[in-house]
Amino acid sequence: MKPMGIETWVRNGLRAVGLGWAGIALSVLNLPLLVLWIVALALTPAAGIGMVALPFATSLVRARADLARRLAAGWCVTIERPYAPRPKGSLPVGWRRYKWILTDPATWRDLAWLLPGAIIGIALGAVSIAIPLYGLEGVTLLPLWLYLGVDWYGYGLFWPIGSFSQGVLSFPQGVLFLMTGLIAAPQLRRVEALFAWTLLAPTKNAQLRLRVAQLTETRSDTVDAQAAELRRIERDLHDGAQARLVSLGMTIGLAEELLDRDPEMVRKLLAEARETSGSALVELRDLVRGIHPPVLAERGLDGAVRALALSLPMPISVDIELPGRPETPVESAAYFATAEALTNVVRHSGANTAAVSIRHTDALLTMVILDDGRGGADPSAGTGLSGVRRRLAVFDGTMSLSSPPGGPTVVTMELPCALSSPKTSPFSGTG
């Protein structure tokens, strides 16, 4: 645990005591929720009512459980939502919806939590409030007793208070209780959160199901993106290089025909043919750069990002430390994500300078792009950043954006991956 200052420590304790109150209040709701749900289930034979009432009661129970999950997150206990995803096909209504709810084990686990969760919530809440309150009593007892003559029977170790010195000792005891209370309250919150975790967290099965749902989504995104990419490449080749090669063949064929009759024309045609082959090469080069930049193949992420930074119309400082290279698909995703982020900086940020930093620690490739522009970037506004997010999601990567109005904007991208040791170190020579 990190050492913390007395102020944060007190604030943390007070927050926990306050949330103890909230915990009690919320726990009190659990019982009526449980009753409501059971009644709704019991009303199932009265088809009309049950069909509507049960989903409604369930959504209330889930809202309560979600609240518990959110509160647990405040004490470093992460509880993911375990609910089964919507069944395939049209929006489930009526009986199908009913079945979806009742066959989801998470529904039953929520219900199983309601009562014990309430008991633990109330008990721990009460304890975390009572200790500091008792401390407060001890601290205030002495002045009240001395100046107002209020009669106290006993406090702490002394029942009854038999002497003046025992009365005075209530003060240090009170301080001790107060401190204990403030230390204990966050721990008690944590215990409550951990208990919630045992029932509200996804089971192994549910975790797998969530993972499958996530993979299905990213896979379909990937397939779509790849299909679109292939279509673009096909179109570019068809309209570009391929058409130029056809025209090249025709020009050369014509030149062949004219060789004896009109050498001057042949010279013109050949010059034209050379021009056409040049344009075809330019188009192919641009296309290749978009598919997999050659410098990425040659130099890896490090060299490719440096080359990119050199080609952009603003000074960009590059700080990359990579002991090896990731797998090619991951490397490519990392490169295009970085390139997209940098392009956004150039296009939209109004920045004078930008910085890229790439590191690999603990099997995580981290790319940070920072600029001194006007900030206020909205990831949902353009397709650029959501494209980056999709690209990274394929490899379980993430992107986060911090862009307060006025800047600076920081894009942080993370990709879990291993690095292979470099095949040849630069400048190692081959002789």
Partner 1 sequence: MRVVIAEDLALLRDGLTRLLEAFDFGVVEAVGNGPALLPALLKHRPDVAVVDVRLPPTFTDEGLQAAIDARTEVPGLPVLVLSQHVEPLYARELLTGSGGGVGYLLKDRVANVAQFVDAVRRVADGGTAMDPEVVSQLLARREPLAALTAREREVLAEMAEGRSNGAIAAKLFITEKAISKHITNIFTKLAMPPSDDDNRRVLAVLAYLNA
d(C-alpha 258, C-alpha 254), whole Å: 6
Q: For residues 88 and 423, which CB has a smaller minimum distance to partner 1 in the complex? A: 423
Q: For residues 78 and 311, which CB has a smaller minimum distance to partner 1 in the complex? A: 311
The answer to whether 294 contacts partner 1 (rule: CB under 8 A) is yes
Per-residue string for binding with partner 1, 207-246, x by CB under 8 A?
A: ----------------------------------------
Using CB under 8 A, pick the residue from 180, 218, 247, 277 that binds partner 1: 277
> Is there a contact between 196 and 69 (Cβ–Cβ < 8 Å)?
yes
Burial class of residue 400 (count of CB atoms within 10 Å of its CB; 0-12, 13-18, 19+): exposed
The answer to whether 289 contacts partner 1 (rule: CB under 8 A) is yes
Per-residue string for binding with partner 1, 306-345, x by CB under 8 A?
A: xx--xxxxx-------------------------------
Q: What is the DSSP string of 35-103?
A: HHHHHHHHTTTSHHHHHHHHHHHHHHHHHHHHHHHHHHHTTT------PPPPPSSSPP-HHHHHHHHHT
What is the footprint of partner 1 within residues 340-379 (CB under 8 A)?
A: none
The answer to whether 428 contacts partner 1 (rule: CB under 8 A) is yes
Residues in the chain: 431
The answer to whether 96 contacts partner 1 (rule: CB under 8 A) is no
> Is there a contact between 171 and 142 (Cβ–Cβ < 8 Å)?
yes
Element (H, E) at 398: strand 398-402
Using CB under 8 A, pick the residue from 25, 31, 288, 381 that binds partner 1: 288
Nearest one of 414, 339, 337, 390 to 222, comparing CA atoms: 390
Q: For residues 131 and 334, which CB has a smaller minimum distance to partner 1 in the complex? A: 334
Element (H, E) at 357: strand 354-361
**Whole-number minimum distance, CB 431 to partner 1, in Å?**
4
Q: For residues 15 and 306, which CB has a smaller minimum distance to partner 1 in the complex? A: 306
The answer to whether 297 contacts partner 1 (rule: CB under 8 A) is yes
What is the footprint of partner 1 within residues 247-266 (CB under 8 A)?
A: none
d(C-alpha 333, C-alpha 176), whole Å: 57
> Is there a contact between 305 and 320 (Cβ–Cβ < 8 Å)?
yes
Residues that bind partner 1 (CB under 8 A): 274, 277-278, 281-282, 285, 288-289, 294-295, 297-299, 303, 306-307, 310-314, 423-424, 426-431
